[in-house]
Structure 1
């Protein structure tokens, strides 16, 4: 028998705990692939935070186990708040549903159900054992946040692709003389590097390498390399110089001798969260193929009047065939704006045309 008197957590308490869990999950992004970046909070029987956990690198414990270990005996009679339904399968680690039962947790609140049939069923196991279980807590924040790419891959079988670009108000990514540094301000560039440190791969074309000689690394504000570096992927049939900075030892690099979008994604099948950074022709090819799942558009308060467009050859020839997106968020970052957009049509996961 459990001797603890159970505290009835208020909606505000659970919401606050989920926000902490989401933050923990976000901090794990980039280190957990192919596993989902999950966050968990354990509240003791009095409703106080006893443990916080996040998914560890593959082979390590899941978020619930980390949080339970931190909570120790305080978990008995307590509540777990988790961003993803606790798993119910024996993989490299045991099922989190059983770990929660063994710890004596009496209530579990999670945001999103697990779409993986091999891992799903944890909620049912918990309910069968008499645990109070609810779902949907801050589900949209989790689906748009730390689990966005993983959920996409589970549902579609392919990596989640974000097209990121920086442009002026008139849609130019470079001036008429080819110069492009710097269209956006330092705050936006710092944000880009912070996001890179959470990715599996960054994709560019050979034209971008030849024109800009980018490093494509994730760097800290002091210029040092971040702890996690995404794989640098260069796409195209042309050659790049042997001394190109993208070939240095700062991060792994993959050269793909193809221009076919689906061949690129097939080669990246082991990855979950992929960023498309350049240039306009490659972006156009991904857009035309319906393989852009999100756009991150950094808009600078500049007008050039001429120069390179942010995208070309996207397969649109009339206004009726325009590729339509809807905005999820608009942020002010220094002097610039960051628009986050997703395809306007979701009935067919492989199409974003209206």
Structure 2
């Protein structure tokens, strides 16, 4: 069984409940049926260690190097910025950080190296010097995303370095997986690689764990949003709190995930902030929701929360941006809304039980038929097999 080493700047959070952690865990869990896989992840804390998920699937969490805490960047007034940690990986890539020690250890017995993003590219000490294949399993078109959402002036100075790293990874990797056809074309247009090696590996779900149990009707309709502490999610949560809640007083808005931490607990009477929730509580929220809302206006890749909502059979009201790359049809799989008419679309939806039932069924059927992690992993396995490890 071939051994795969996967490099990532964040860890699996068990059980994964949102964002990239869902892709990171479930995709490699499925691939571990065919390969021996080690995830080499960077923690945010001072404690690391090995977690074994199965005989062929494990994660080594690398403790944060002291150099990360010693490095200071030109950030004013102790400003907390999303991209600060990512920039530190770029800045410290030529230093003898702890992550490189573990990379050396696992590299020796690995047949294939997979990068989850460009941020740890320079930690791969033998890229271009050995014959081991490399794969870029992208979560997003990272340079395009950063150019879109990085606001801090200091952070934006690192955009050329990020561009250079992602271009190097896309052009030097033996395989590149994009999450959507649009991002595949962006990689080809921007970095000019051999287009034949740029493949699709969309985000997915486990249909069998997302079955929705019929619930009692709520006295007041509940609209659910879940998002991590990721700028586009925070922007969406802010829109719900400061716009939708006031325009839809008859709707109870439930916001879960770390996107809540940016807002005060003192809110409108019809907004509840739950913060980060465990997996079982998330499943309960899915059962209790009358609809899901996804007012996304920025970001990249495909939206995992959209997949989860639809796979669970929750009727979805979303911007076009929130369903990007999935081939969904308005009023068949979901209800399309924009910033100007989002509140009106929600009000209309909750008054139309027949429409909600229809898009709930059609959306669930479409997602579960086309976006299972097992199906996606099978496609990736077929592409890896062509590398003749």
Smaller-chain TM-score range? Answer: 0.3 to 0.5
Rg larger for: 1
Query: Taking structure 2 as the reference length, what is the TM-score of the superposition?
Result: 0.34
Structure 1 or 2: larger strand share? 1
Structure 1 or 2: larger helix share? 2
Query: Taking structure 1 as the reference length, what is the TM-score of the superposition?
Result: 0.36
